[in-house]
Amino acid sequence: VYFYSAPDNFSEEMLRGKRVIVTGASSGIGEQMAYHLARMGAHVLLMARTEAKLQKVVERCLELGAASARFVSGSMENTAFAEEVVKEAENTWGGLDMLILNHIGYSYFNYFDGDVEHVRKLLETNFLSYVAMTVTALPMLKESEGSIVVVSSVAGKAGGPFIAPYSATKFALEGFFSSLRHEFIIDNVNVSITLCILGFIDTDSAMRVVSHAIRAAPSPKEECALEIIRSGALRQRELHYPPSIVTGMLLLRGLAPDLLDTLIRSNVIKSTRLEAQRGLGSMLRPCASLHVFSAFHCILLKEGMK
């Protein structure tokens, strides 16, 4: 908690006049980030596939006080489009201060079905396009000493059942961007990389897919979006949101990985098999175990304070 909590020196002024790209901004956390940035007076360039939704988000951003707001629509399955989005920022603003990589392609929630093409496509959308955008944006980010913010998940730190292709793409992000962070430090490149490790968030898409199968309440997307912007502006290495659950889980993974796996499995298998057989897909039930992580984490903290 100490190392991963944002210090209190964040000010919304830090984003005023900054030039920010937000991917996956037509809905969910990306849409909420666009609204926060707009309120803070940033210039925003938004990206997703659905033009009609993006148009509405842009209009709202302008009402909220964005310095400017525009969008580019297209699919990140194609890395050429990823480069095009960054070029649009270069042509419009002549520079870039923050690149927020947030979009994800469709993934099913069920036993891995052996479809290698789906894994390839998801890697292209959720991982390769992030790499392509970073490569194209890097000269501008070096110039502005800017920030890269990568939105990931607890599923990119610890595997759980029924999300194998999705989880693989999130692990790939961790590997790539933590390696890149080392290289930036070695070469004195002053571009920060913030990896955001998120738990269950109440976006429409996540609620649609898994809410029926999870007992714990999801965390609010509005607060999550603000925490992502804050951690990026403060150039933090990682964001854990919600902090107690994610940090507790990662702590247990380091101390007792088999115990973590057993807890996850023991909460999952029975219910999921039944639902999968009905063809509905389903969700692991890690909530009880995550409460155990949190309790465990609190005990450690209290002991530490003593």
Ligand X SMILES: C[C@H](CCC(=O)O)[C@H]1CC[C@H]2[C@@H]3C(=O)C[C@@H]4C[C@H](O)CC[C@]4(C)[C@H]3CC[C@]12C
In the bound complex, what is the minimum distance in angstroms from residue 76's beta carbon to ligand NDP?
A: 4
d(CA 109, CA 177): 26
Residue with tokens 């389903």: 282
Contact 24, 149 (CB under 8 A): no
Contact 40, 66 (CB under 8 A): no
**Using CB under 6 A, which of 127, 200, 241, 293 touches ligand X?**
200
The CA distances from residue 104 to 1, 125, 152, 206, in Å, are 28, 6, 10, 12
**Using CB under 6 A, which of 5, 11, 50, 205 touches ligand X?**
205
Stretch in the footprint of ligand X (CB under 6 A) among 65-73, 122-130, 199-207, 255-263:
199-207
Q: Which does residue 245 bind out of ligand X, ligand NDP, none, counting CB within 5 to 8 angstroms by kind?
A: ligand X
What stretches of the chain show up as alpha helix (H) in DSSP? 28-39, 51-64, 79-93, 116-123, 129-144, 164-186, 204-210, 221-233, 243-255, 257-277, 287-305
Contacts with ligand NDP, residue ranges (CB under 6 A): 24-30, 48-50, 53, 75-77, 102-105, 125, 151, 153, 198, 200-201, 203, 205-206
Q: Which does residue 78 bind out of ligand X, ligand NDP, none, counting CB within 5 to 8 angstroms by kind?
A: none
Contact 266, 284 (CB under 8 A): no
d(CA 214, CA 283): 7
In the bound complex, what is the minimum distance in angstroms from residue 126's beta carbon to ligand X?
A: 10
Q: Which does residue 45 bind out of ligand NDP, ligand X, none, counting CB within 5 to 8 angstroms by kind?
A: none
Cα distance between the two ends of the chain: 16
Output the residue with the shortest Cβ distance to ligand NDP: 28
User: For 34, phi and psi rounded to 5 degrees?
Assistant: -60, -45
**Residues 207-226, interacting with ligand X (CB under 6 A):** 209-210, 214, 216
Per-residue buried b or exposed e for 101-131, using 16+ beta carbons within 10 Å of the residue's own CB: bbbbbebebbeeeeeeebbebbbbbbbbbbb
**Residues 152-181, interacting with ligand X (CB under 6 A):** 153-155, 163, 166
In the bound complex, what is the minimum distance in angstroms from residue 29's beta carbon to ligand NDP?
A: 4
Residue among 35, 130, 166, 241 flagged as catalytic: 166
Q: Which does residue 105 bind out of ligand X, ligand NDP, none, counting CB within 5 to 8 angstroms by kind?
A: ligand NDP
Q: Is 108 a catalytic residue?
A: no
Q: Which does residue 49 bind out of ligand NDP, ligand X, none, counting CB within 5 to 8 angstroms by kind?
A: ligand NDP
d(CA 43, CA 54): 15
Q: Which does residue 27 bind out of ligand X, ligand NDP, none, counting CB within 5 to 8 angstroms by kind?
A: ligand NDP
Burial class (CB within 10 angstroms; exposed 0-12, middle 13-18, buried 19+) of 33? buried
Contact 205, 28 (CB under 8 A): yes
Nearer of residues 113 and 187 to ligand X, judged by Cβ: 113
The reply on whether position 266 binds ligand X by CB under 6 A is: no
In the bound complex, what is the minimum distance in angstroms from residue 286's beta carbon to ligand X?
A: 5
Nearer of residues 28 and 146 to ligand NDP, judged by Cβ: 28
Contact 58, 46 (CB under 8 A): yes
In the bound complex, what is the minimum distance in angstroms from residue 153's beta carbon to ligand X?
A: 3
Strand partners, 71: 46
**Active-site positions?**
166
Which residues are near ligand X by CB under 6 A? 109, 153-155, 163, 166, 199-200, 205-206, 209-210, 214, 216, 245, 286-287, 290
